Amino acid sequence: MSIIDIDLDLDSSPVKARVLRDSLEVSLGGGKIGPLREGDEIELPRWIANELAKSNVVKLFDREPLDTAALAKIHWRECIPSSREIPPMQSDFYYKLRCLLEDLLQQSQREPSRRADYEKALSQSKDIVNCRLHKILYFAAAPPQGDSTLQKLAAEERALYNQLSSIVNEWKGKVLSLEDEK
């Protein structure tokens, strides 16, 4: 599964939201939603809910939004130098990370004084990716991992682990095979 496929799945996954203001009808992507009544709790595909949230029509019920403070905590947890253990990561972490970085970049373009926030978040993001990538590479080369380890991975990481594990196992099979010498 590719990152694009994962994003499409997440974009179409349902999320809950509370309507902030009455709206007769909202047109999005060729479809129409409404009427919406203030205070109602509704379930929408994530991409629609995100668009309505940007327009202050709804407020999303998100388990744990990703902001710069949350990113800093994840950065600290992930980059402990000697740990081979991989901490659990929300399945939609990278999706939220891409959204956060895009938002910070747009803010920095409107307000150049916010450029440092974007640069710091980008740097922390790269560190997190590198730390987790090293651990995933280690796991892919090791004997098959149990479900408890794989459940700690974000969706994109599970896809990468599966691809790497397959490549490594195929390579090991070829390198250790004596049948080709007959």
| pLDDT tens, position by position, 40-71 | 899 888 888 888 888 888 888 876 678 999 99
Q: What is the pLDDT of residue 113?
A: 93
Instruction: Check whether residue 19 and residue 108 sit in a common domain.
Output: no
Q: Residue 42 sits in which domain range?
A: 13-60
Q: pLDDT tens for residues 71-81?
A: 999 999 988 76
Establish if 42 belongs to a structural domain.
Answer: yes
- Ranges of the chain with pLDDT below 50: 182
- Asked if residue 121 belongs to a domain, the reply is yes
Q: Are residues 112 and 162 in the same domain?
A: yes
The answer to whether 159 and 2 are in contact (CB under 8 A) is: yes
Strand 14-19 vs strand 26-28: parallel, antiparallel, or unpaired? unpaired
Closest by CA position to 171, among listed 127, 139, 135, 140: 140
Both structure tokens of 138: 């280690």
114 and 164 fall within a common domain: yes
117 and 163 in a single domain? The answer is yes
Claim to verify: residue 156 and residue 97 sit in the same structural domain:
yes
Q: Indicate the number of domains in the chain.
A: 2
Q: What is the pLDDT of residue 82?
A: 66
Report helix angle 155-176 to 115-141, nearest 10: 40
